[in-house]
Amino acid sequence: MLKKLQDRWKVNGINLVLIITTFAVGGSLCGWIGRKLLSFTNLDKGVVWVIIYIVLITLLWPLCVLLISIPLGQFTFFKKYLVKVGRRMTGRKINDLNPAVNLAIFASGAGSNARKIIDYFNAIPGNKVKIGLIVCNNPAAGVLQIAGENQIPSIIIEKEKFLRGDAYLPELKSYGINYIILAGFLWKLPPSLINAFPQKIINIHPALLPKYGGKGMYGHHVHEAVIANKEKQSGISIHYADELYDHGEVIFQATCELTDADTVDTLTKKIQALEHAHYPAVIDTVIKKQNPR
């Protein structure tokens, strides 16, 4: 039963325990408050008392579980859960709850870009874009913690299956993924994945393409090359991914100035600021352009 709940809610084991705890404590709290409120009346515990008590706990329950969910770190889950319950009660179709676009973020490291993308789309009122999955090739990556904090399911992928197997296409299909967003994902993409998501895989590169792209050009390696060549500018390139490293059609570029005093560390900070400022918005623009409403 617990496994079924975990699959249904798409959460890990720890979050499942916290969710169940929130249900239990929140239910107990609203029951206690309901009885306490009725104790201030002169009603006997008869039919009228029971009816009023049921009405009270029905009204109190959402507030109580939201209150308990905050210290347990489950507020995002219960906010979405209560919206679904409310829409069911008012006759809204379940299909209306489904986002128009479902994203999978592929990442290998700390996940700073992933966090910015998640925060960006979560902040849009009535947003129809959902981060439905985090895909990671590194079990120790910080992005997995970000996924847990935001109640986003995640999968750890294995290289042989990804590159020479089914590229995890069945898993992506099961989560209803429409777009793949690469956010510091270091493996080359297999052709089967590219073919399954034509013009639907977006990558960000920490330099200006095409000059500073290709195999081995990632992270500090890119910045070292830019500084060694005494460039006056660097920047970011957001592009559609294809079967070659850093090769697909460029969607957007932004630049920053370099000085003789710049180091790999200072350039890294400049590039990261550009990534965080532009990547989520560019993804949003691409989705709106391809999915006019």
150: left (phi over 0), alpha (psi -120 to 50) or beta: alpha
Position 130 pLDDT exceeds 80 = yes
**Which domain range does residue 85 map to?**
2-89
Q: Are 132 and 103 in contact (CB under 8 A)?
A: yes
The total number of structural domains in the chain stands at: 2
Rg (CA), the chain: 24
Asked whether residue 143 falls in the same domain as residue 241, the answer is yes
Per-residue pLDDT, 213: 85
Among the candidates 89, 118, 137, a domain finishes at 89
Which has more pLDDT, 211 or 84? 211
Provide the CB-side half-sphere exposure for 249 (13 A, CA): 6
Higher-confidence position of 91 and 155: 155
Distances (CA, A) of 13 to 77, 98, 134: 14, 24, 16
Rounded mean pLDDT of 2-13?
A: 74
Q: What percent of the chain has pLDDT over 90?
A: 63
Percent of the chain scored above 70 by pLDDT? 95
Q: Which residues are catalytic?
A: 205
Q: Are residues 81 and 158 in the same domain?
A: no
> Where residue 264 sits, what CATH number does that domain have?
3.40.50.170
Sheet with 154-156: strands ordered across: 154-156, 129-136, 101-107, 179-182, 201-205, 233-240, 250-257
Mean pLDDT within 181-195: 93
Average pLDDT across the chain, whole number: 89
The residue-averaged pLDDT of 261-274 equals: 95
Q: With 50 as the cut, is the pLDDT of residue 95 above it? A: no
Question: What pLDDT digit, counting tens, does each position of 35-70 carry?
Answer: 988 888 888 888 888 899 899 889 999 999 899 999
Q: Within this chain, do residues 80 and 135 fall inside the same structural domain, yes or no?
A: no
